[in-house]
Amino acid sequence: MRIFENANFPFTSNWTKAFILSGALIVLSLFALLARGVTLGIDFLGGSEFVIETAAPLNVTQVRGQLDARLGLAPEVKLFGSPNTILVRTTVGGDINETERVIVETIAAGFPDANPTVVKTDSVGPRFADDLKRGAFLSIIFALAVIFIYIMLRFEWRFGVGAVVALAHDVTITLGLFALLHDLVPFSLQIDQAIIAAFLTIVGYSLNDTVVVFDRIREYAAVFKTEAYDVVVNKSINSTLSRTIVTSGTTLIVVFVLFVTGGEVLRGFAFALIVGILIGTYSSIFVAAPVVLRLRSSGRKQSR
Amino acid sequence: MLQGNGLKVLTVLVFLLMSGYYLYPTLSNFRYQNRLASLDGEEKAAYQRENFADIRWASENALKLGLDLRGGMLVVLEVRVDQLVRELATDRDDVFNEVMAQAQTEALSSTVPFVDAFAAAFAERDPDARLSRYFRNSDRGITRRSSNSEVVAYLRDEADAAVDRAIEIIRDRIDRFGVTEPSIQKQGTRRVIVELPGVDDPERVRKLLRGTARLEFRLMVDPRETAPYIQAVIDHYDEGIEETPDTNARVIGDDLAARVDTSSADTSSVDTTAADSAFDVTALLGGEDEADLPANKLLEVFRPYGQDVILGSAFSQDTARAMQLLTAREVAGLLPRDVEILWTANPINVTEDGQEEFFALGVRKTIELTGDVITEATADFDQIDSEPKVSIAMNSEGARTWSRITGANVGKKIAIVLDNVVYSYPNVNEKISGGRSEISGLDSFDEAKDIVTVLKSGALPAPVDIEAEQTVGPSLGEASIRAGTMSLIIGLALVVAFMIFYYQSAGIVADLALLLNIVFIFGILAGFQATLTLPGIAGIVLTIGMAVDANVLIFERVREEQGTGKTLKAAIAGGYANALSAILDANITTFLVAAILYSFGKGPIQGFAVTLMAGIISSLFTAIFVTRIVFDWMVGQRRMSVSYG
C-alpha cells in the first residue's frame, strides 16, 4: 500500500499561495487574540475550581445567577463532560472551605433534586500562580532556545530561521484558534499548565517534521548538485511526503482517540494537540522549506 | 545465526528482564487486589493473613498512581519565612518595610531562600546599614554590636529551624489524622508538599494543616473544689441512685457533699477521705456487699483519683466517652464555673496489654499567658540538683504578667496547655520577675526537650499558608483510570491495524516493536519509581502515535532503496543506515522539550513529561535495535521475503 509514491507536486512554485494562506491565518489569529484574548486558567491566574456531580441535570445559567448572588465573585459555571456534572470556577479570594460550603449549600437550596457532591477541587493561591507563570514562561524560552541552538548546530543558519518561523506560525495560529473558539466549544480552552505542555509538545513534534524535510534537503543538495535549489527542495518535500502524511496520520489517530475517550480533563489538551499536529505538518511543508528557499535565493541574488 | 546481532539481542533481553523485574510487583499487586475483591468475609480475611507480607510488599513496590488517578488530596503549604523575619524584628520602620517588600518579590520562587534575598536587598539599599538595628536576641548572642553576617546567620538558622519544625508539626498532625501512606516532602527552602491518598474530607484536612498551635499557661484548680464535683458526677451516673426517686437522691447527695467538705479540709488526706466517701456512699445506698456495686456508666470508662490535681484517668479509647459523660449537660452545672477538664497530652502509663492511660486534670479556663510572649526556650540541667529543666525567656510584656502570676501562686501548679491538652503542670517555686521561667519537676531530659519543641513550635511565629491544593474524589479517579486505559487500548489497536494494512509484513514487525515499547515504558516508570498520572497516560498514548515515526522513516527508506534495485538485504541495511540521522534529530528535540517541561512543570504535568521521555527512549531503542534484529533474522536466517508494503 503506497500513497504519494513518486509524488511530484509543485510545492515550491506555489509558495506564494501558501504564504498568502498562512498570512491570512496569522492575521485572523492575531485579530482573535486581540479581540477576544486568551483566557488563562486558574494555574496562572489563581482561583478555585470545583467539579460538582448532581443527581439531576442543572441549568448552568440559573446556577451561575444564584451563585453570583451568594458569592458575589461572578463565578464561571459550565458543564463538565456530562449534563450531571458542572464546573464552578471562582477567582482568588476567600477561604476555600467557606467557598466550597457556600457553593454546595446554594445549589442544594436552589435546586432541591440536585443533591450536589463535590468530586474534584483545584485551588491555586496567588503566589503559587505567579510561580507557575514564571515556570511556564521559562520553559517556553528555554525550549525555543534549545531548539534554535540544536538546529544551528545540525544545519546552517537559514534552516534555523526557517524552523523558528514555522514554529512561531504554528503557535500563533493555535493560540488564535483557542481565542476564537473559547466558550464556543463545550470543553475548556483555558490556558493552564496542561495546555502549555501541549504547546511545547507541538513545538517539539512540529520540529520532527521540519527536521526530516531539512535532512532530506541537505542530502539531496549534496546529491543533485547541478539542479536549481528550488528543484532540490521540491524533490525533498515530495520524497518525504509519504512519511510525513503517515506519521501525522498515526499521531492524529491516537490524539483523536484521546480527545474522544480520554475524559473531560484531557479534552482541551487533546484538542490543542490535534490542531497543533495539523498545522505543524502544514508548516513544515509550506512554511519552513519555502523560507529556507527564499533566504537561499535572496542570498544568491545579493552575492551576484 | 545471530549475524553479529549478538550484542543487540543480549541488550534487548537484558532490558526485557529488567522491565519484567521492575514491573513484577505491579502485576503481583494487580493479581492480589483482584483476588481480594472476589473473596469476602472470612475467606478474604484468611487470604489476607496468609499472604500478608507478600500483599504488602507488592502494594508498596507497585507502580505508583498519581492522586488524580487514585483519589486523594495534594496540598502545597508554604511556611511564611517572611512573616517570621518580620516578627523577629523590632522597631520596624519604612526602610525595613521597603526592604521586606523587595525581598518578597525576589524570593517569589521557593528555591530562593528568603533570608538571603532579604540580606541582599538590605545591602543593596544601604551597604553601610546594620541589620542589628532591627534584630536582637541576647540568648543567641545577637546584640547591637553584631555584624550583618552574624545576624544573617542567626536569621537563617531561625528560618531553617522554623521550616523544619513546621514540617514536624504537620507530620505529627497527619499521623494523628490517620492516613495510609501519606507523603510529606520539603520543596525548595520553605514549601511542603503533602500528599494524602484516599482522603475524603478536604475541609478537615485544610483546618488541620493550617491551624496554628495555641500555647496557654493556665492555673490548676484546687482539688478541694473539684472533689465534690467528681463525687456528684459519679453519683449521677450511679444507676442505683438514678432509679431511686428524686428526693432521696438529693438528700443523699447533699449529705454526701457535707461529708466530703468536712473531710477534705485537709488537702493532703483528700485521697483517702474521698475514697472513703465514695465507699460510704455505696454503703449508704444499702449495697453492703461491695461486689454488688451497681453499674456506673462513668466508672466503666473513668477511674477517679482525687489525688492532688488529678481528677482521674481513662484509657485512650475511653477518653472521648469519659469526657462526654463528665461534661454532659446534666452534670455540667456541678463543675465550678471557671473550670475546664483537660486530658494530658501524653499517656501517663501503658498497661501490659498496650493500653495507654491518660489523666484528666482540672484547669482554670482563664488564660493567664499565651505563647506569644515567649522569645526563647532551651532544655538543660539545673545547676544545683542536676534535674532536667526547661528555661524560657519572655518579652517584657510577658515578663510583667508572669511576675504577677507567679507571685500570686507560689507553691501551686501552673498548667502548660497546647491545643487543649496539658503537657505538664509544674510547681511554681517562687515569684519570677525577670521574664525568665523554669519548668521543673520533669521526668527526664527528653521531656525537657519535648517541652522546648512544643514551646518553640507553639510560640515562635511562622504561619503556614495553603498555597495550592488539588482534591480528587475516588470515583473521579477511577473514571480517569478507565478513560485512560480505554484510550490506550483503542489507540493501540488502531495503530496496529494501520501498520499491518500499510506496511504489511514489515508492519507486523513494527507492531511487535510497539508492544515491546509499551512494556519498556512501564518498566522505565517502575524502575525510576515515577508516578503515573492522567497526563502521563496521555503521554503514553501520544508515544504510541510517535513511536511509529521511527519505523516509518526506516521503512520508507527501505522502500526507496528497493526502488533503486538493491537486494532486500542490502535495502534493509541501507534503509537503517540512512534513516538514522533523521530519526535521532527528530526525537532528540522532542526529548529535550520534554525534559524542560519536566523541570519547570509542577504536578501531574510532570507525569506527562516523564512518560514522553521514557517513550522516546524506548521507541528509539525498539525501532533501531529490535526491528533490525527481527528483520535480519527473517531475511538472513529464514530467507523470508519481507514486504514493505
DSSP symbols for B76-113: EEEE-HHHHHHHH--S--HHHHHHHHHHHHHTTSTTS-
Are A97 and B203 in contact (CB < 8 Å)? yes
Place of cell 532591627: B134
Inter-chain contact B552–A246, Cβ cutoff 8 Å?
yes
The pLDDT of residue B516 is above 60:
yes
For position B642, what pLDDT does the model report? 66
| Chain B residues whose beta carbon lies within 8 Å of the beta carbon of residue A136 | 600
How far does Cα B78 stand from its chain's mean position? 14
For chain A, which residues make up each domain, given as ranges? 12-41+129-303, 47-123
Q: How far apart are CA A191 and CA A41, in angstroms?
A: 5
Cβ contacts from A onto B, under 8 A: 219
| Minimum-distance CB partner of B468 among A123, A143, A250 | A123
Residue of B nearest to A262 (CA): B483
Lowest-pLDDT choice from A33-37, A179-183, B54-58, B154-158: B54-58
pLDDT tier, B276 (very low <50, low <70, confident <90, very high otherwise): very low
- Flag the least confident range among A44-58, B142-156, B227-241, B246-260: B246-260
Q: Is the confidence at residue A285, as pLDDT, over 80?
A: yes
Do the chains contact at B203 and A101, CB–CB below 8 Å? yes
- What pLDDT does residue B639 have? 65
Instruction: Cite the residue boundaries of each domain of chain B with CATH code 1.20.1640.10.
Output: 475-637
Nearest to A187 by CA among A251, A252, A247, A269: A269
User: Is A247–B645 a contact, with Cβ atoms under 8 angstroms apart?
Assistant: no
Asked if B56 contacts B50 with a C-beta cutoff of 8 angstroms, the reply is: no
- Chain-chain contact of A193 with B534 (C-beta, under 8 angstroms): no
Quick check: B541 and A147 CB within 8 A?
A: no
Any bridge partners for residue B196, and if so which? B73
Q: Angle, nearest 10°, between helix axes B148-177 and B202-210?
A: 150
- Chain A residues inside the 8 Å CB shell of B600: 135-136, 138-139, 142
Cβ pair B542:A201 closer than 8 A: yes
Which residues on chain B are in Cβ contact (under 8 Å) with A247? 546, 548-549, 552
pLDDT confidence of residue B277: 37
Domain B212-220+337-468 in CATH 3.30.1360.200? The answer is: yes
Centroid of chain to Cα B581: 49
Name the phi and psi angles at B219, rounded to 5.
-80, 150
Residues B464-473, mean pLDDT to the nearest whole number = 85
Strand order in the sheet with B374-381: B374-381, B388-394, B436-439
Q: Where are the beta strands (DSSP E) in A54-116?
A: 76-80, 82-90
Q: Would you place residue B254 in the very low, low, confident or very high pLDDT band (cuts 50, 70, 90)?
A: very low
> What distances in angstroms separate CA B152 from CA A180, B79, B144, B459, one per listed residue?
53, 18, 14, 22
Residues of A in contact with B609 (CB under 8 A): 197
Tell me the mean pLDDT in the region A62-85: 80
**Closest C-alpha among B540, B626, B551, B611 to residue B582:** B551
What's the CA gap between A241 and B556, in Å, rounded?
Answer: 10
| Site from B600, B611, B613, B620 to mutate, A interface, most A CB atoms within 10 angstroms | B600
Nearest alpha-carbon partner for B197 in B176, B183, B177, B185 = B183
Q: Residue B112 carries which side chain, given as an amino acid letter?
A: V
pTM strictly above 0.90: no
- Number of alpha carbons in the 13 Å side-chain half-sphere of residue A147: 35
Subunit contact B582:A211, Cβ cutoff 8 A: yes
Alpha-carbon gap, residue B551 to B549, rounded angstroms: 5
- The CATH code of domain A12-41+129-303 reads 1.20.1640.10
Q: Which of B467, B469, B542 sits opposite A127 (nearest CB)?
A: B467
Percent with pLDDT over 70 in chain B:
81
**DSSP character for A286?**
I
ipTM of the predicted structure? 0.86
Secondary structure of residue B533 in the 3-state scheme: coil
pLDDT band at B255 (very low <50, low <70, confident <90, very high): very low
Looking at residue B586, its pLDDT comes to 76
Chain B closest-CA separation from residue A301 CA (Å): 31
List, for residues B584-594, the tens digit of each pLDDT value: 877 888 888 89
Which chain A residues are Cβ-neighbours of B487 within 8 angstroms? Answer: 254, 257-258, 261-262
Gap from A2 CA to chain B (nearest CA, Å): 7
User: CA–CA separation, B415 vs B451, rounded Å?
Assistant: 12
Contact B597 A247 (CB under 8 A): no
- Closest partner CB to B556 (pick from A123, A200, A242): A242
Q: A76: distance to nearest CA of chain B, Å?
A: 19
pLDDT at B251 over 50: no
Q: Do B589 and A211 touch (CB under 8 A)?
A: yes
Length of chain A: 304
pLDDT of residue B460: 34
Q: Say if the Cβ atoms of A139 and B599 lie within 8 Å.
A: yes
Is the pLDDT at B110 greater than 50? The verdict is: yes
CA dihedral A128, A131, A133, A134 (to 10 degrees): 180
CB-CB contact of B609 with B528 (8 Å): no
Q: Is A78 left (phi over 0), alpha (psi -120 to 50) or beta?
A: beta
Element (H, E) at A123: strand A117-124
Residue B175: CB atoms within 10 Å:
11
Query: H helices then E strands: how many in chain B?
Result: 23, 18
For residue A221, give every residue at least 6 positions away whose Cβ sits within 8 Å of its Cβ, in sequence order, or none.
A229, A232
| Segments in B147-245 forming alpha helices (H) | 148-177, 202-210, 223-237, 239-243
pLDDT digits (tens, 9 = 90+) for B372-409: 787 887 888 888 878 777 787 888 888 888 888 888 88
- Quick one: cell of B287? 449495697
CATH 3.40.50.720 holds for B475-637:
no
Q: What are phi and psi of A268, to 5 degrees?
A: -60, -40
Label the pairing between strands B310-315 and B303-307.
antiparallel
More confident residue, B204 or A56: A56
Q: What is the pLDDT at residue A119?
A: 87
pLDDT tens digits for range B79-102: 888 887 887 787 778 888 888 888
Q: Which of A98, A208, A255 to mutate to test the interface with B (most CBs of B within 10 A)?
A: A208
Q: Which residue does chain A place closest to B593, by CA atoms?
A: A143
Q: A247, B552: Cβ pair inside 8 Å? A: yes
Whether the per-residue pLDDT at A257 is higher than 80: the answer is yes
What pLDDT score does B253 carry? 33
CATH 3.50.50.60 assigned to A47-123: no
- Measure the CA–CA gap between B299 and B235, rounded to whole angstroms: 10
Helix then strand then coil, in percent of chain A rounded to 5, is 70, 10, 20
Rounded to an integer, what distance in angstroms lies between the CA atom of residue B29 and that of residue B62?
7
> What pLDDT does residue A303 have?
42
The chain B residue lying nearest A154, using CA atoms, is B585
Mean pLDDT for the stretch of residues A127-134: 85
Other residues' Cβ atoms within 10 Å of the Cβ of residue A34: 10
Place B477 in a pLDDT band, splitting at 50, 70 and 90: confident
Which residue from A minimizes the CA distance to B507?
A1
For chain B, give every residue range classified as CATH 3.30.1360.200.
212-220+337-468
Nearest-by-CA chain A residue for B606: A197
Q: Is-contact A158 A296, C-beta < 8 A?
A: yes
Quick one: pLDDT band at residue B275, thresholds 50, 70, 90? very low
Q: Is A116 helix (H, G, I), strand (E, B) or coil?
A: coil
Nearest CA-CA distance, residue B643 and chain A, Å? 10
Closest-CA residue of A relative to B104 is A127
Distance from CA of B549 to the nearest CA of A (A): 5
Interface test with A, best of B556, B557, B613 (most A CBs within 10 A): B556
Q: Does residue B558 carry a pLDDT above 80?
A: yes
What average pLDDT does the structure give for chain B?
A: 77
Could you tell me which chain B residue has the CA closest to the CA of A253?
Answer: B491
Helices (H) and strands (E) in chain A, counts: 10, 4
C-beta of residue B401 within 8 angstroms of C-beta of residue B368: yes
B350 SS3 class: strand
How many residues are recorded in chain B?
Answer: 645
Q: If you search the block for the grid coordinates 524570593, which residue do you land on?
A: B107
The answer to whether B604 and B535 are in contact (CB under 8 A) is yes
CA–CA distance, B44 with B368 (Å, rounded to integer): 56
The residue of B585, B608, B619, B620 whose CB has the most chain A CBs within 10 angstroms, and thus the best one to mutate to test that interface, is: B585
Q: How confident is the model at residue A275 (pLDDT cuts 50, 70, 90)?
A: very high
Q: Is the pLDDT of residue B288 over 80?
A: no
Q: Which residue from B108, B544, B549 is facing A208, i.e. has the nearest CB? A: B549
CB A199 within 8 A of CB A235: no
Instruction: Give the chain B residue nearest A254 (alpha carbons).
Output: B491
A179 and A275 Cβ atoms separated by less than 8 Å:
no
What average pLDDT does this structure show over B542-549? 84
Name residue, grid cell 472533689. B227
Cα torsion B518, B520, B526, B530: sign: negative
Nearest chain B alpha carbon to A4: B556
CB atoms within 10 A of CB B296: 20
* pLDDT tens for each residue of A233-253: 888 888 888 888 888 888 999
Q: Which residues of A touch B597 (CB under 8 A)?
A: 139, 143, 197, 200-201
Contacts of B545 in chain A (CB under 8 A): 250-255
Higher-confidence residue: A26 or B297? A26
Judged by DSSP in three states, B127 sits in coil
CB atoms within 10 A of CB A124: 27
User: How many CB atoms are located within 10 Å of the residue A105 CB?
Assistant: 12
Sign of CA dihedral B80, B85, B87, B88: positive
Q: Report how far Cα B239 is from the mean position of its chain's Cα atoms.
A: 45
Could you tell me the three cell numbers for B626? 529490535
* Residue range B125-161, pLDDT digits in tens: 877 778 777 887 777 777 777 788 888 888 888 888 8
